[in-house]
Structure formats: C-alpha cells, structure tokens
C-alpha cells in the first residue's frame, strides 16, 4: 500500500525547494525553515516505518 503521508511530505518538500531555487531564497526564510522541518518529519517517519 502507498505511504500517503510520506508522499505528501515529499511533494511539499519538492514544491518548496523548487520555489526556493527559482527565487534564490536565503537559508533563514520561512520556506527554507519548513524544508528543514519536513526533512526531520520524513526521517522520523521512515525510522518508525516497518521494514
């Protein structure tokens, strides 16, 4: 079965990263901080996932 939570997090991260690259946003912008938060959430989720 598809992991919809993981896919949603990855999709939001890709969208934000594309926006940051297009606009050349600095590290302390809300978008870049959200990417950092998404990375943390993804790593926690993958650590909990059954293997």
pLDDT exceeds 90 at position 35: yes
pLDDT band at residue 42, thresholds of 50, 70 and 90? Answer: very high
pLDDT exceeds 90 at position 50: no
Please tell me the distance from the alpha carbon of residue 41 to that of residue 33, in angstroms, as a whole number.
13
Task: Tell me if 38 sits within 8 A of 16, measured CB to CB.
Answer: yes
> Taking all residues of the chain, what is their mean pLDDT, rounded to a whole number?
92
Question: What is the per-residue pLDDT for 12?
Answer: 97
pLDDT band at residue 44, thresholds of 50, 70 and 90? Answer: very high
């Amino acid at each position: 079965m598809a992991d919809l939570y993981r896919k949603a997090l990855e999709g939001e991260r890709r969208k934000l990263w594309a926006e940051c690259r297009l606009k050349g946003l600095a590290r302390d912008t809300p978008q870049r901080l959200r990417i950092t938060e998404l990375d943390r959430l993804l790593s926690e989720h993958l650590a909990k996932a059954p293997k």
